[in-house]
Structure 1
């Protein structure tokens, strides 16, 4: 899109107008940006498992609402009071959390720790695609504090999944591996949109990497990655005992240093904990409807750490983009036409589907 092209009054968009019903395609007004924000021309928008949860009403948003929280595109308007050196024509992606209030205890904590606000932990933050309008639309208002520049070599359809799936698993890996030695063993449990990227990030960070899943399509996906980023071991965990034996053999009886669990299965998370070595770390990324269940004796006697991880901060995502550019990390992407958004859930729930669905919003 030419930088100085006039912004239209109307835009095409998809909306949730009723929970558990297909998205509806509509024509609505292009949003007006506040002085401190940016207007993004959306070129690609990802579909994520949490989008399905939003559609089912799990986040109780006010309807109608534009879904999707993985945008990639071009800045077409810069608010006169925007922070930073943003300019029209910048290729960017935006994270879903935005507009820190600066008044709550979360904002006070961010200021004490980092001397700047972090919308991720603001108690009054907006959440694009969850409670506020997202990016299944031609234009979207974004916060410069949670907007990141994209490498020139990264296509928009590849950038979109990195703004949630990539940012989530990357942030988990940064936390889990903060004190690990080079060459330690990291397991990625659950090889979907997050796990597929997690394998590549783990390898790019220099760790020996195990991919674990019960599904044949997922295990196949684990090896469909750019050269040099394949896992060192792919394990079928249908038999947990056999899988555990393989892992112990691979780690010479020590166990895994860190496990990133990309599923909300209570059983899988409980089992993954048993695979850790003494002092190991497990990051649980799923959001199960029930409470977690972990064996306290394993936790205590092995001095294990269980942690959660939200989407990475903008600073962390900038580090992720450097790795993406340097190592060539890529998602397994299926492109969806904008007109096919009403059927995207059906495509996502197809048992043979693997990787990420990305809507092409603009050419």
Structure 2
């Protein structure tokens, strides 16, 4: 497709549950406080599917159409706004998180200002959210907020870096939420081995946990084996097996799990996972089901269990995550998608044989 200098190729969601449309849009103008990023790779995750299906069309952050999807971008800085301060220059390799532009005035910003003396766009009630309600990364260029942009290590490719901006940042944050109750050397399970779960296994091992990978799909269990030998899970369990709970108890000498991170939105899976915790265990559910979670109140009370919410990690925590990624060589199983194939990406994502992460090659 021919393109003028002022315009860029992009894909748009024009109608919920209808294929994305390829089109041209003007290249966004870089404001004084912005970074203009040329996108090289952009990931596709379960939240993108939920946006596609209209799950977020109502509520606190409603999706408005047309929308450029994807919130997992990696690329290079093409322009730096005149008022931007910090270590940013044209040509820097970066990843961009999906929340940006804290207003500094809402209740969410005010709470954080009082506690930490700074704002955090993750909790700003007026924040922009790329790929959810504001334009995202299925485009040749996008605007980024320096406060939520991170440098990519040279050893991390754009195609590996893109999934780290959501899948990685989310499951890394979930594992941090197990602290301080769950200490290195204790047993942690990652339930649901897909784009998040495969990274979660590797992060958990790098953090010093004994790690169990759990999935009822053969594709998920296979994916759990396809990581670096030093980061492989200590045990892989089929959660649909009648003796799945017994396997966990055998491995933990009858104690149950110290912690569990659930990387799917199945209500049944989350309920089952809670039951695998030992006394004072910690569970972090990551998925967003359409309906309400349902947890056993007796298990919560009599075992003093903790269920802890998690959002995507802050930019500061993502920088720490990237250091671990570089040291341990942590990678996603990536299936590459050409830009012209974006209209069919939903079918590819929902195929039962799909495993790992879909990443669109933009440049």
TM-score (norm. length: structure 1):
0.96
SS of the counterpart of 2:162?
helix
Which ranges in structure 1 are unaligned for 5 or more consecutive residues?
A: 1-6
Which consecutive aligned stretches of 4+ in structure 1 deviate over 6 angstroms post-superposition?
Answer: none
1:81 is matched with: 83
SS of the counterpart of 1:228?
helix
Aligned partner of 2:192 among 186, 190, 193: 190
**In the aligned structure 1, how far is the partner of 2:278 from the partner of 2:329?**
31
SS of the counterpart of 2:231?
coil
The Cα of 1:75 is off from its aligned counterpart by: 0.4
1:319 is matched with: 320
SS of the counterpart of 1:77?
strand
SS of the counterpart of 1:244?
helix
CA RMSD of aligned residues (A): 1.0
SS of the counterpart of 1:13?
strand
**In the aligned structure 2, how far is the partner of 1:69 from the partner of 1:300?**
38
SS of the counterpart of 2:197?
helix
1:344 is matched with: 345
The Cα of 1:58 is off from its aligned counterpart by: 1.6
Aligned partner of 1:145 among 147, 166, 170: 147
1:303 is matched with: 304
The Cα of 1:346 is off from its aligned counterpart by: 0.8
Aligned partner of 1:35 among 32, 44, 48: 32
Say whether residues 1:248 and 2:249 are aligned partners. Answer: yes
Aligned residue pair count: 355
**In the aligned structure 2, how far is the partner of 1:283 from the partner of 1:42?**
32
Say whether residues 1:58 and 2:60 are aligned partners. Answer: no
The Cα of 1:268 is off from its aligned counterpart by: 1.0
SS of the counterpart of 1:308?
coil
The Cα of 1:85 is off from its aligned counterpart by: 2.0
Bigger CA drift: 105-114 or 44-53? 105-114
SS of the counterpart of 1:211?
strand
SS of the counterpart of 2:316?
helix
1:78-227 superposed matches below 5 A:
78-227=80-229
Contact 1:263 1:286 (8 Å CA) reproduced:
yes
2:60 is matched with: none
Contact 1:177 1:258 (8 Å CA) reproduced:
no
The Cα of 1:56 is off from its aligned counterpart by: 1.2
